[in-house]
Amino acid sequence: MVTKLQPDGTAERPSNAGSAYTERMTSLADLRKSYERAELSEDASHADPLQQFEQWLQEAIAAEIPEPNAMTLATVAGNLRPSTRVVLIKGYDERGLSWFTNYESRKGQELAGNPFAALQFHWVELERVVRIEGRVHKLSDSESDAYFQSRPLDSRIGAWASPQSQVISGRSVLLANAARFGAKFLLQPPRPPHWGGYRLQPDHWQFWQGRKSRLHDRLRYTLSPPANAVDAPPVWIRERLAP
Ligand SMILES: Cc1cc2nc3c(=O)[nH]c(=O)nc-3n(C[C@H](O)[C@H](O)[C@H](O)COP(=O)(O)O)c2cc1C
């Protein structure tokens, strides 16, 4: 498309630009769906949020929806600006949820400065969202080594080849790095010191199930000290939130 310039040098606005914009906005405003697939009740949910998560994750996997293991990870930088990206969950148990990445990436640097983070799964087809908040710790070297060695060879070389989140002059940098590290390590690349896992230990979970008429179900679980016993471990308090 050739952009016509006006006498002052700025681009001429097509005369119908405003109405096209309005049309686009109107059709976006009309995009809505009714959520009617399932419900989430106090009676039918688990008292332990990890079990609730396990059930929903397994249902998402069984439903064969695309990338049920993809989760959005939010971190906060030193200047208090939040940022998000998608990572893959690689494990979960009572200690938390884990993923792997480059410790020197933007997320790695932000977590080094502020270890609190949030995760979110959105299983669109099931009309479900899970939100998780807590403190993040690095996995042990042995845990990161074990997972690294389970990865396909090109992924292991890729961990060396990509200075994740840094500006590079072009794609050729990655290809040259991959060739260089491939030739150096052959079939046995060790885990790079800048690459490994993190685990978020939840102190806050939220389960959202879409419902009809925007009256969605939301159950929040918060880790709280037990009411009476001084030395007893914290307990999960389950509460319903308005949608
Ligand atoms: C489906 C999907 C899964 C991803 N999984 C990971 C992952 O497990 N680890 C990772 O470091 N990046 C993963 N990425 C890339 C990240 O979203 C992101 O681009 C990268 O980690 C750099 O983020 P940062 O600059 O905020 O640190 C994934 C991207 C997508 C779309």
Residue 18 has what pLDDT? 64
Q: What is the pLDDT of residue 2?
A: 42
Separation of CA 70 and ligand 1 centre (Å): 9
Average of pLDDT values for 14-27? 69
CA of 75 to the centre of ligand 1 (A): 13
Q: Tell me the per-residue pLDDT of 46-58, one tens digit each, with 9 for 90 and over.
A: 999 999 999 999 9
200 CB-near residues (< 8 Å, 6+ apart): 96, 97, 98, 117, 119, 132, 134, 135, 136
pLDDT the model gives residue 130: 98
pLDDT tens for residues 200-223?
999 999 999 999 999 999 999 999
> Tell me, what's the pLDDT at 217?
98
Which protein residues touch ligand 1 with a CB less than 6 Å away?
A: 67, 70, 83, 85-88, 99-102, 105-107, 164-165
Q: pLDDT-based confidence at 1, cuts 50/70/90?
A: very low
For residue 109, give the ligand 1 atom closest to its CA: 27
The per-residue pLDDT for range 102-159, each reduced to its tens digit, is: 999 999 999 999 999 999 999 999 999 999 999 999 999 999 999 999 999 999 999 9
pLDDT band with cut points at 50, 70 and 90 for residue 26: confident
pLDDT level of residue 25 (50, 70, 90 thresholds): confident
pLDDT higher than threshold 60 for residue 85: yes
Angle, nearest 10°, between helix axes 153-161 and 171-185? Answer: 120
- The residue nearest atom 6 of ligand 1, judged by CA position, is 87
Q: Exposed, middle or buried: residue 159 (CB in 10 Å: 0-12, 13-18, 19+)?
A: buried
Q: Which atom in ligand 1 lies closest to the alpha carbon of residue 102? A: 11
> What is the number of the ligand 1 atom nearest to the C-alpha of 108?
27
pLDDT band at 242 (very low <50, low <70, confident <90, very high): very high
- The active-site residue out of 13, 37, 180, 214 is 214
From atom 24 of ligand 1, which residue's Cα is the shortest distance away? 106
pLDDT band at residue 16 using 50, 70 and 90 as cut-offs: low
Distance between start and end Cα atoms, the chain: 45
% of the chain with per-residue pLDDT over 70: 92
Confidence class for position 236, pLDDT limits 50, 70, 90? very high
- Atom 31 in ligand 1: which residue has the minimum CA distance? 86
For each of the domains in the chain, give its residue range(s) and CATH number, in order of start.
36-152+193-240 (2.30.110.10)
pLDDT digit string (tens) for 167-184?
999 999 999 999 999 999
Q: Strand, coil or helix: what is 101?
A: strand
Q: Distance from the CA of 86 to the center of ligand 1, in angstroms?
A: 5
149's enclosing H/E stretch is: helix 141-150
Active site residue 211: no
Atom 14 (ligand 1) nearest CA: 87
Question: In terms of pLDDT, which residue wins out, 16 or 223?
Answer: 223
Site to probe by mutation for ligand 1, drawn from 65, 67, 86, 199 as the one with most ligand atoms within 8 Å of Cβ, is 86
Amino acid, single-letter form, for residue 78 = G
Q: Tell me the whole-structure pTM to 2 decimals.
A: 0.90
Choice between 199 and 12, residue whose per-residue pLDDT is larger: 199
Number of H helices, E strands in the chain: 6, 9
Nearest atom, ligand 1, residue 83 CA? 26
